[in-house]
A and B are shown apart, each in its own frame.
Chain A
Amino acid sequence: MSGAGDRKEREVRRLLAGAARPPVPPDLPARALAHGRRARRRERLWRWALWLPAVAAAVAFGVWACAAEPWAAPPMGTTPPLEPW
C-alpha cells in the first residue's frame, strides 16, 4: 500500500520536475522593485497617519495643561471669615 503510494508520489514528483519551465520576463525584477517601493511608501504613510495625530494630541494636551493648570485648587467661592482683631 505504502509502496504503491510512494511510486505514485515519485511519478508526480517527476511530472512536476519535468514540467516546462516558464521563462522569466526580463522586466520582472524591475516591476517587483517598483511594487515593493510602493508598498514601502504606503507603509510609511500609514505610520505617519497613525503617529502624527497621537503626537499632536499629546502636545495639545501639554499646552492646555500648562495654560489651565487643572491640578491647582479652584479659587474659593466665598471670602474666608475675618479673624477677630
Chain B
Amino acid sequence: MVAEDSGFTAFVAGTAGRLLHVATLLTSEPALPPGANPHAQRLLTAAFGATYARWDRLRDEDPYVYARRELTVRFARAARRFRRGRGGPLSRLTPRERLAVVLRFHEGLYDEQVAALMGLTAERVRALCRHGVGTLRSAPDGTAA
C-alpha cells in the first residue's frame, strides 16, 4: 500500500505543523501542553483525509490550498461548537472573526480570497477583520477582561 502514497506522506510531514497551528488558532485551543488541542487535530486529520481521497485528481491544484480550504470549510460547518473560546490567543473573537483574521493576517490571503472561501462579500470580511483586530487590541494577551 506504499505505492499509492505518491508523495502524500511527505506533503503531510511538510505542512502539518503550519496547518495545525492554523487549526489551533481557529478552534482557540491552547497550543501547549501537547495534546491540548484535540478538536484542531481532528479537524486537520479530516482535512488531510479529504486531501488524500482527492490526491490523484488534484491536477494543477496546490494540495496545501486544497487542504486549507477543507480545513476552513470543516471549521465553518462546526463553528457553533467553537463559539466559546478555549484559552487560545483568539479566544475573545467569534468563530467567523477568527476565520477572517487567521486567513487574512496569518495566511496572508486577500480580502477577496477570504470572502470567496467564507462565502461572504469582501466588505463583510473587512468588517470582521476590523472588529476582530479591535477586540484583540483591547485585550492583547487574549485572556478574558
A29 touches B21 (CB 8 A): no
Q: Which of A19-27, A47-55, A63-71, A73-81 contacts B (4 or more CB under 8 A)?
A: A19-27
> Number of A residues whose C-beta is below 8 Å from B?
29
Report the bound CA distance from A35 to B132 in whole Å: 34
In chain B, what residue has the closest Cβ to A21? B21
B44 touches A12 (CB 8 A): no
B53 touches A33 (CB 8 A): no
Within 8 A of B (CB), among A4-21: 5, 8-9, 11-13, 15-17, 19-21
Q: Answer whether residue B119 sits at the interface, using C-beta atoms and an 8 A cutoff.
A: no
B21 touches A22 (CB 8 A): yes
Q: Answer whether residue B7 sits at the interface, using C-beta atoms and an 8 A cutoff.
A: no
B35 touches A25 (CB 8 A): yes
B21 touches A9 (CB 8 A): no
Within 8 A of A (CB), among B48-76: 48-53, 55
B12 touches A29 (CB 8 A): yes
Q: Answer whether residue B37 sits at the interface, using C-beta atoms and an 8 A cutoff.
A: yes
Q: Answer whether residue B101 sits at the interface, using C-beta atoms and an 8 A cutoff.
A: yes
Q: Answer whether residue A58 sits at the interface, using C-beta atoms and an 8 A cutoff.
A: no
A25 touches B34 (CB 8 A): yes
Scan B72-116; emit 1 where CB is below 8 A from any A CB, else 0: 000000000000000011000000000001100110000000000
In chain B, what residue has the closest Cβ to A42? B53
B52 touches A35 (CB 8 A): yes
A43 touches B106 (CB 8 A): no
Report the bound CA distance from A28 to B130 in whole Å: 35
> Can you list 26 A-B contacts (CB < 8 A)?
A9-B105, A12-B132, A12-B133, A13-B105, A15-B89, A15-B140, A16-B101, A16-B102, A16-B106, A19-B31, A22-B24, A22-B36, A28-B16, A32-B12, A32-B48, A32-B52, A33-B8, A34-B49, A35-B49, A35-B52, A36-B49, A36-B52, A36-B53, A38-B49, A39-B50, A43-B53
Point out residues on B near A: beta carbons under 8 Å.
Answer: 5, 8-9, 12-13, 16-17, 20-21, 24-25, 30-32, 34-37, 40-41, 44-46, 48-53, 55, 88-89, 101-102, 105-106, 129-130, 132-134, 136-137, 140
